[in-house]
Amino acid sequence: MNRLETFKAVFDSAPDGVIIISHLGKILLVNQQTEQLFGYTKKELEGKDIELLIPKRYHHHHQSHKTEFILNPSNRKMGSKNELWACRKDGSEFAAEISLSPVNLSDKTIITAAIRDVTERKKVEEEIALKNKKLQIQYKELEQFAYIASHDLQEPLRTIVSFSELLESQCSDDHNEAAKTYIRFISDSSKRMQQLIKGLLDYSRVGKHRELSFVDCNSIVNEVISDLNSSILESKAQISVSELPSLNAYALEIRLLFQNLISNALKFRTNEKKPIIKISAKEEKTHWHFTVQDNGIGISENDQEKIFIIFKRLHNRNEYEGIGIGLSHCKKIIELHGGELWVESKLNEGSTFNFTIPNNKHL
C-alpha cells in the first residue's frame, strides 16, 4: 500500500466527518463519514463553497468569520461554547461540534475541519437541564414548606401543648378520670406532632449548607461513640472499629450518618443480648464500601426496603422510641454523596447496613 492509499484509508476511517477546505473556502476533499452525515456524494461537495453545509440564516455571519479565520488561522478545538448547526442535503439541520486546524503548505494554507453530530447529546443535556430545573422548583417548595412548618405550624402546636398541660394540672384533683385521659391524649399527640415537624425540618436541612472538606471517618466515629457513651455503658455494648478512610465529604452529614446507624444498633436490641457492633470499610474500584454490623433484633426481608421511607416504623412506640426518620436521613446523606445504602438482615439475627461513598477527590 503506497502513501496515497494509506492516507485515503485513514482519512475515510475517521469517526467524524472530515473536510479539507481551501483558503478561499472551497471544499477540496471529504471523507466517507461526511457523505453519511450530510447526504451528499463526494462529487456533489468537492469544489463547492463550505456554506453549502451551513443553514442559510448563518451564511452572512459565517462568511465574515471565515474571512477572519483565514487572515488569522489558529487551531479551534471541538466543544466550543458557541451553538453550531449544520445543514444536510434534504434541508434538515443538526447540532454540530466543529474543530478547525490550519495546515500551512509551501504556497498556501488549507483548513481541516472535523464535524461531529451532537444531536443526541444535546437532547440528553436538555433533558438533564429540564430535570434540574424541576428539582430546583421542588427544592424551593421544600424550603417554603420548611418555613411554614417551623413557624406557622409550630406556633399553634405550642399553644395546644401549653393549654393541655395547664388543663392537666388543674384537673389533678378532679375525680373525672376520663377527662384526665383525654387531656393526656391531646398533650401526648401534640408533643408527638412537634417531634414529627422537627423531624421534617431536620430532613429538609440535610445538605442545605453543605461544604466539601477532608473528613477523617475515624475521628468522626470516635466522637459519635463518645457522645453515645451513656447508652453504650447502660447497654454494656461492645463496639469495634476497623481502620476507616479519610475522604472528601460533607462532614456534618457524615457525622449524622454514623450517629443514626450506631444509635439504631444500640436501640434495636433485646434485653437478653449485649449489643455487639462492628464498623469497617474496604476500598473498591470506584468507592469505599462501609458496613455497620450489629447483633440486634434484625429486619424481615419484606421490610428491608420500607425502613428507609420517612416516618415508617416497624415497631410500636412503646417498644422502641423515635419517629422513624433516622434511616431516611441516612439514605438522603448517602445519595447526596453519590453512593448507595442497603441492609442485609434476618429476624433475630442482627443487621448489616452497607453504604458506599465514591473515592473520587471531587464530588
- Residue pLDDT tens, the chain, 363 long: 677 777 788 888 888 999 998 888 899 999 999 999 999 999 999 999 898 999 988 887 777 777 777 667 777 765 555 678 999 999 999 999 888 888 888 778 888 889 999 988 888 888 888 888 887 777 676 666 666 666 666 677 777 777 777 777 777 665 667 777 777 777 777 766 766 666 666 666 665 556 778 889 999 999 889 888 888 888 889 999 999 999 988 888 898 899 889 988 888 887 778 999 999 999 998 899 999 999 988 888 776 677 777 655 555 555 556 555 778 888 888 988 889 999 898 888 889 999 999 886 544
Reduce the DSSP state of residue 320 to 3 states and report it: coil
**Phi, psi (5° rounding) for residue 355?**
-150, 150
Q: Of 164, 170, 167, which is closest to residue 193 (Cα–Cα)? A: 164
Q: What is the pLDDT of residue 158?
A: 74
Using the structure block, give the residue that is written with the C-alpha cell 387531656.
183
Query: 3-state DSSP call for residue 299?
Result: coil
Query: What does the pLDDT read at residue 63?
Result: 73
Count Cβ atoms below 10 Å from residue 259 Cβ, excluding itself: 20
Q: Give me the pLDDT at residue 229, please.
A: 87
Q: Which grid coordinates are listed for 274?
A: 449485649
pLDDT for residue 362? 47
Distance between CA atoms of residues 6 and 28, nearest Å: 18
Q: DSSP character for 297?
A: S
What's residue 87's pLDDT?
92
Strand partners, 248: 214
The pLDDT value recorded for residue 363 is 46
Q: Helix, strand or coil for residue 230?
A: helix
Full-prediction pTM beyond 0.75?
no
Contact present, 56 and 39 (Cβ < 8 Å): no
Please state the φ and ψ torsions of residue 124, each to the nearest 5 degrees.
-65, -40
